[in-house]
Amino acid sequence: MAKITALSQLDMNQVYSYADYRDWQLDEAIELIKGKIMRMAPAPNVRHQSISMDLSRYLSVFFLNKPCRVFAAPFDVRLYDRKKSLLASADIHTVVQPDLCVICNPELLDEQGCNGAPDWVIEILSKSNTRHELRTKFALYEETGVTEYWLVFPDNPAIEQFVLDAGGRYQLHALYAPGDVATAHLFPGLAIDVNEVFASPWD
């Protein structure tokens, strides 16, 4: 079977599995959302990367010598119904690469990445993110059981913090802006100076 090295070799209307995804050798970054190929945004700009690094610094220091682990994209996270046990690659149809994620259950980690829902996901938006993508990812993280989800808006500086309620639905827990201190719901000892996160990389 010929190696898949370009998206033009794939049927964008077909449903693929993680087993298929692992066999591809693409230069273009993609995610699988319920078996459908979703192109990722081009290489992040300086502001996006600056925010990611500042958040990573806070998280890395906080979780040092703690059981939870922090990972940054590119890092494959395989998602599926939270009621199911670990699945084989051929039975998984969603693979995403969050900008940052925190995983506290070591059994979810393997050589390929994370097999199951992280405890906390942070996505930093870019101008290329469409409303469809935002709705899709929001619903995906909610239904697969990501307990805490942060949406970071670089251009209109703000952080939206969502937390699953007892019924498994996201509720807006807090909205943070420059001048605030953002506190993780799952990890109340972790406090993040929002001014530092959104400081211009040229300051």
Residue 8 in domain: no
Residue 99 in domain: yes
Residue 9 in domain: no
Label residue 192 by pLDDT band (50, 70, 90).
very high
Residue 16 in domain: no
Work out how many domains the chain is built from and give that number.
Answer: 1
Query: 97: part of which helix (H) or strand (E)?
Result: none
The per-residue pLDDT for range 11-61, each reduced to its tens digit, is 999 999 999 999 999 888 889 999 999 888 777 788 999 999 999 999 999
Domain of 138, in residue numbers: 44-198
CA–CA gap between residue 143 and residue 146 (Å, rounded): 8
Whichever domain contains 164, its CATH number is 3.90.1570.10
Residue 104 in domain: yes
Residue 178 in domain: yes
Residue 6 in domain: no
